[in-house]
Amino acid sequence: IEAVNTHTKRNPGDEVVFFNYAAVTPAFTNEGCSFWHFRFDAHVDMKMAAITDYIKSQDDIKKVYLIGQDYVFGQAVAAAAESMIKEKRPDVEIVGNELHPLGKVKDFTPYIQKIIQSEADAVITGNWGQDMTLLVKAAADSGLNIPFLTFYGGSLGAVAALGEGSIDTLYQVSEGVTNQEASDEQYALIEEYKQRFPDYDYYYHRAFVAAEMLKAAAEKAGSNEPIEVAKALEGLTVEGAYGPVTMRAEDHQAQQNLYISTVSKDVKYGVDNIDLGWVLVDNGTIDASAAEEPTTCEMERPE
């Protein structure tokens, strides 16, 4: 974001717009907001609000362990979890709050042993990629069978690492679930994607939303010039496959429905080339209005 800001300031007439599909630190649309940056994923606080709403409905969760990657994102996840659990379920005890090196841990067994010793009823993690997969693999190998409430449980290989142990154990919050009801057009898109990319699952739905919003903004502006497209994006709504998506003008944060899902065998679309896939939990739909979080953005706009 800072690089784009600097570039556009130094190179009038050669502006760049940053379409962010996955970096979710809340600061990027709060104190660090930029006219040139648009985020299509829900940020940490939005996702944690959804997860903690779910915890609020689960009376059997009394102790929660937080584990995440030691950088600005993982720190934001931990801070949001602490404050929201305290607010929504003050009876829940946070029995661990661990940050580990990003992408450097090869065996999470020592961390899982700490979780077991803490007697936690659930784990919250923002881990992604290898850190997500190796974490749940170590949990499976150690016989830990408690809910893992994740941001990125759909990371490549995570479900396969747990196998059937992921059923009703691995949860995630996301902007769409392939096995939820959708249009024939969306099913055809998923089928085409799986045919073209057999080793990868249709997962980053928000990347498709970003492309749809770019097209809609260019058509609205009658131009593909960066400034005109950026202005047209502000306040723009498109009808996504899993509900409408609006680009909030105040901070350039996409507002959209969020969904809590878990792993099941009873699915149309499996993941990791196995017969397990993601399904919505009961009352797992969080409406965009409920997922919305306030912003402190004070945006400077070009004249």
- pLDDT at 274 (0 to 100): 93
Rounded-to-integer distance, Cα 295 and Cα 22, Å: 18
Residue 155 lies in a domain: yes
Residue 251 lies in a domain: no
Residue 238 lies in a domain: no
User: Which amino acid, one-letter code, is at 130?
Assistant: Q
Residue 215 lies in a domain: no
Residue 49 lies in a domain: yes
Q: How many domains does the chain have?
A: 1
The boundaries of the domain holding residue 124 are 44-178+257-289
Residue 72 lies in a domain: yes
DSSP-derived 3-state class of residue 253: strand
Distance from chain centroid for Cα 44? 8
Rounded-to-integer distance, Cα 160 and Cα 181, Å: 24
Model confidence pLDDT, tens digit, residues 100-151: 999 999 999 999 999 999 999 999 999 999 999 999 999 999 999 999 999 9
CATH number where 64 lies:
3.40.50.2300
Low-confidence ranges of the chain (pLDDT < 50): none
Residue 222 lies in a domain: no
Rounded-to-integer distance, Cα 123 and Cα 128, Å: 14
Residue 27 lies in a domain: no
- pLDDT at 156 (0 to 100): 87
- pLDDT at 235 (0 to 100): 98
- pLDDT at 233 (0 to 100): 98
What's this model's pTM, rounded to 2 decimal places?
A: 0.93
